[in-house]
């Protein structure tokens, strides 16, 4: 619901705008990107599991699941690639229930509060880490 839900927090860019931004950024970095979105926790877990042994990094904005999903945490633990957590707003500057992240302990980096630019920063970080062989 990006662009419609709480634009004072999340801005006016739509999911399609962010998809285009990410795909263009990946192209300029010379990396492949697969941009996906689901509102269903189980689908997200399955996508993460499918990434095992296939991808060089994962950029994830788990939205509200960040604060509640042990299943997503456990799926991400399977991966041995950089995991980059992204949030358009900064959850730690919002309601107390948003201050905890199940993803953060697994993340090589967290970009929160940078708006859509955080996705570009995350892709740069994946390219940097994957390119270094780490």
Query: What is the domain extent for residue 77?
Result: 7-131
Q: Is residue 95 classed as helix, strand or coil in its secondary structure?
A: coil
Whether 104 is covered by a domain: the verdict is yes
Contacts of 72 (CB under 8 A, 6+ apart): 41, 44, 45, 48, 60, 62, 65, 102, 103
pTM, full prediction:
0.91
Q: What is the pLDDT of residues 68-127, one digit of tens each?
A: 999 999 999 999 999 999 999 999 999 999 999 999 999 999 999 999 999 999 999 999
Residue of 65, 73, 87, 119 with catalytic role: 87
Active site residue 10: yes
Whether 103 is covered by a domain: the verdict is yes
Return the CATH number at 19: 3.40.50.9100
Active site residue 65: no
Whether 2 is covered by a domain: the verdict is no
Whether 54 is covered by a domain: the verdict is yes
Q: How many domains does the chain have?
A: 1
Q: What is the pLDDT of residues 64-84, one digit of tens each?
A: 999 999 999 999 999 999 999
Whether 1 is covered by a domain: the verdict is no
Contacts of 40 (CB under 8 A, 6+ apart): none
Whether 111 is covered by a domain: the verdict is yes
């Amino acid at each position: 619901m990006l662009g419609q839900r709480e634009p004072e927090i999340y801005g006016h860019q739509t999911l399609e705008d962010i998809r285009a931004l990410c795909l263009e950024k990946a192209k300029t970095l010379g990396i492949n990107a697969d941009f996906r979105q689901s509102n269903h926790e189980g689908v997200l877990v399955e996508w993460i599991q499918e990434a095992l042994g296939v991808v060089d990094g994962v950029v994830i904005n788990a939205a509200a699941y960040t604060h509640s999903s042990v299943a997503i945490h456990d799926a991400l633990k399977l991966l041995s690639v950089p995991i980059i957590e992204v949030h358009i707003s900064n959850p730690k500057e919002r309601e107390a229930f948003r201050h905890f992240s199940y993803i953060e302990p697994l993340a090589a980096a967290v970009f929160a509060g940078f708006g859509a630019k955080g996705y570009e920063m995350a892709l740069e970080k994946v390219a940097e880490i994957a390119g270094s062989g780490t």
